Amino acid sequence: MEKNKYGKELDVAVKVVQMACSLCKTVQKGLISGSFNQVKSKNDDSPVTVADWSVQATVSWMLCEYFGSESVSIIAEEDVQALSEPDSEGLLGMVVTTVNEALAKAPIYGLNGPGKALMAPQVLEAISRCNSSGGPVGKHWVLDPVDGTLGFVRGDQYAIALALIDDGKVVIGILGCPNYPLEKESLNYHDNGLHKFSSSSTSEVGCVIYTSKGSGEAWMQPLIHGNEGLQGPNCAKLIKVSAIDDPALATFCESVEGANTNHSFTAGLANGVGLRNKPLRVHSMVKYAAIARGDAEIYMKFARGGYKEKIWDHAAGVLIVQEAGGVVTDAGGRPLNFSRGMYLEGLDRGIVACSGVKLHEKIIGAVYASWDSSNL
């Protein structure tokens, strides 16, 4: 792959994710304080907030502005059904305001915003434009506007995930992690029923992690605040996976919620390969960021029967871990296939991400050894 083949797309997309992180931090602060109180439930009972729609509209508008609305294909999680309901006028107004506030700050991030504020129909159009079904041909942007909405609502970890697929291969991956501390030393571990991490009150929090396929590098930059722009303290830092390959020393990540994850099966696998540390239960693709940055070594996801993994929940994180030196496959040891639409079709049992080959081989071996006797 040409080193700079996707240079423009990566540059614009990283800046757009920086914008989205700022938007989300504002909305999350409002949710916690009570000034934002609109959280809807989708058909599958998962929550959706002002931030989900606002980020999707903002990212959609920006990508179309820079790469042309006629040629941009976007696969994203949200639609406008709930926003279009008769009782959602106030919610739509909040989304429109939030989007315009974000776009007005575009010059801070080195981007061009609209000449005037967007109206509600334009915002709805930007959200609705993200209706591509992807596939094996052409370029398709993949967006999860707020991955880990439960974590977002609770003031915990969440991520803005943006990837680019070209002819079925993920070629750009970007994760915005607004609540993820910049330094591993700033991570606090809590054990109050869930073993998870959060930042200390004095640590610098928030980063954007990104990569392009074939670069062999993954980078992290702090969030941009105020009017400081892209210079000075916001220089990027190279990140790499951990060198730990002893299971007894490894840290294992899994999802917080058990609705679509079989915690009992992963617990059995962890015990079988000799993982001694308690699992680190983390909302969102921050789990992939933790592995790419060397804060954890293993992430396993085995969905309960009937659940289908969506590509926007994995595309960006998978590429970042791989380019940072890690390994990600399905539980049969095969590469994940992002070329078959919005779902990871053909997935063998689950997903295994590791910091290195030795740990990965042990996990895959344990899957084969224990699968037949499991209740999955």
Residues 72 and 161: their CA atoms lie apart, in Å, by: 17
Residues 75 and 59: their CA atoms lie apart, in Å, by: 12
Beta strands 139-147 and 74-76: pairing type? parallel
Pick from 53, 160, 58: which is nearest to 101 by CA? 58
Please give the positions annotated as active site: 52, 149
Residue 348 is assigned to a ligand binding site:
no
The values of phi and psi at residue 196, to 5°, are: -140, 175
| DSSP states along 96-165 | HHHHHHHHHTGGGGT----SSPPPHHHHHHHHHT-B----SSSEEEEEEEEE-HHHHHTTS--EEEEEEE
Residue 11 is assigned to a ligand binding site:
no
Pick from 273, 248, 275, 278: which is nearest to 364 by CA? 273
Return the structure tokens found at 248.
Answer: 């007894």
Return the structure tokens found at 350.
Answer: 């689950």
CA 257 from centre of chain: 16
Can you tell me which residue has the tokens 């540390």? 277
Residue 361 is assigned to a ligand binding site:
no
With b for 16 or more beta-carbon neighbours within 10 A and e for fewer, the 118-134 pattern comes to: beeebbbbbbbbbebeb
Residue 147 is assigned to a ligand binding site:
yes
Return the structure tokens found at 32.
Answer: 């916690």
- Measured CA to CA in angstroms, residue 191 lies from 74, 142, 195, 269 at distances of 39, 34, 5, 21
Write out the binding residues for Mg(2+). Answer: 77, 144, 147, 313
Write out the binding residues. Answer: 77, 144, 147, 313
